[in-house]
Structures are given as C-alpha cells and as structure tokens.
Amino acid sequence: MPRILQGLTIVSALFAAACGTDRPATSDSATTVSAATVSAATVNADTVALTPAVLAVFAPLPAQMDAPGRPLTEAKIALGRRLFYETLLSDGHNVSCNSCHALNGWGADGRRVSLGHDGRAGSRNSPSAYNAAGHFAQFWDGRAADVEAQAKGPILNPVEMGMSDSAAVLAHLRASPSYVAAFRAAFVGQGQPVTYDNLGFAIGAFERRLVTPARWDRFLSGDSAALSAPE
C-alpha cells in the first residue's frame, strides 16, 4: 500500500475511534487497518496517543525530491529557476510557468481555471507547484510521469503558452548567449545541450527543491517539542 494511503488510513481509523463512531468492516485494502495497528494507539473518547508504531507509516518531507539517475546540481536548479520565470517560452512572450504556478501565491494562481496565451481560459485550475515532485503522476489526469515531463507540456499547449513546436522554443534559447552558457554549465559534456528534453530536466530540477516542510515534519524527525500537546 502506498505510504500516503497508509497514513490517511490510520488517521481516519484513529479519528473514528476517538469520536466513538462505529464503521462497518471492509475488505478494501485501502481502508482496512489491522487490529495490531489500532491497538498500537491508546484511544479513548478524548485523546489518541501517537506511538512510534503508529507514526512509522508517516515520513517527514525530504529537503528535495530526488529523481533516480538524475542527480540535482546547482547549475541545473539555477537554469530551471530562470526557465520557470521565462516568458520567452510563450508565443506572446507574456506567460511563464510562474504565471499559473505563482511561487508567491503558494504555487498556484488561485483561479477557477487558469488563463494562458491570448488570455484564453483553460478547462482546469492549476495545482500547486510546491511538493508536486513528490506526486506519483503529474497533471490532473496523471498523463505525465514526473515534473520533468510535465514541464514540457504547457509550453506547446495552444491554450496555455501557445508555442507552435519545440523548434520555435529552441530557436529563442539558442539565440541567447547567456542561455547557451547556462545550458552548457548544467549539462556538461553534451555537444548540443540546448534541447527540449534538457529544458524539462532543468525546470524539473528546480521544482524538486520546491518543498514545504512544516512543524509536523520536524516532529516526525524526532523534535518532540515541534508540536504542542493538543496538536
């Protein structure tokens, strides 16, 4: 069972027990909690003791969401940050990744549906870019496997950033000496580092550092004073 489902399962079970709510038994593995797990918590009508056995299904957020086989480097992250804010990646030169995933607005634009190229309204709202690299799939329909693949989609979407094709994107980037130098620093040893795949790798590297640990994560890391007793 995925760790997040395990965590939600146990939280739901403990909440129900603390409230004295009877729930019918189920054989669904996503909603079943073993008797041993439930007995690991001391439950009464008022409190739930989070013992080490219960907390073991949770894990603190990491400092970065690593990608197997794609080590993060400061050069890739710096390039990805620049590309994340780059309006040249849109046909009208007025839309960037940050337009819909504003990092000063919790990683989203707060709209019911996002507005893209020529002010066109999309069909869905923008999910937050924060912690997105930890998801098991990207886009609301899960059609991209990771943030590197996701980053390449909106640029060529006629409603979002409106670029006609990847060649048009690369023409802008290769015409910029500073971008050429930044790609060479990020992707050392490649004869032609300014590629559309590398654009996705760079933006993905930047997003893999967009992590938002909180006091709950400090508590899970062993800081027992990070949460108050009522919390």
Active site residues: 160
160-104-222 Cα angle (round to 5): 120
Q: What is the DSSP string of 96-153?
A: -HHHHS-GGGTTS---SS-B-GGG-B-SSPPPPSTTGGGSSSBSTT--BSSHHHHHHH
| DSSP H or E stretch at residue 13 | helix 3-18
Return the C-alpha torsion angle 44, 215, 63, 195, nearest 10.
100
